[in-house]
Amino acid sequence: ITVSLAGTAIEVRAPTASISGINPSPAVWSATEKILFSGTARDNDQDGASIVRLEWASDLDGKIHTGNSPDAINFSVPIKDMSIGTHTITLKVWDNEGDSTTAQTELSVEGLPPTGRIASVKVNGEEIDSDLRVAFATLLGAHRVSFSGSARDGDEFGDAIQSHLWTSTLLPEGPSRTI
């Protein structure tokens, strides 16, 4: 937009914004690590306009950072505060004339896999060795095999483990059997 007042032309332009980096990207869920967001914002008006507001947002988590000048554009957030999934990250900046612009990029936050631990395996009530090396003949005569173990969600979202699956390649009913 160009405005002329008494023969003097002033060009009014929207500010510019760019996302220079998100590190790490992709981010793997962590209870202690942080994600660093960095960008630039500039107002290109000839009349000395300035950036007066900026906002970073995620389509999954909403507003994640705000500031009142380009000096506040870089920040970090604990990875644990971000949802697991693919985020569209938007940086929006405003100048003192009310003009605004946005920049976008994607950020992937990956979850940790669950872990499982076999505490014990008993055949006919007797515990077998911890390496699970069981003679085929022992299993053929088994009337009862019992398993004990635990599982933990690696990224601390306690409700994420939906089921447990025990599989053996040592049982006589074929190459493997799900128990």
84-89: long-range contacts, CB 8 A cutoff, minimum separation 24: 84/29, 84/109, 84/110, 84/111, 84/155, 84/157, 85/60, 85/109, 87/58, 87/59, 87/60, 87/61, 88/58, 88/59, 89/19, 89/22, 89/37, 89/56, 89/57, 89/58
Residue 6 pLDDT > 70: no
Give the pLDDT score at 136: 47
Q: What is the pTM of this model?
A: 0.70
pLDDT of the residue at 153: 78
pLDDT of the residue at 30: 85
pLDDT, position 137 = 46
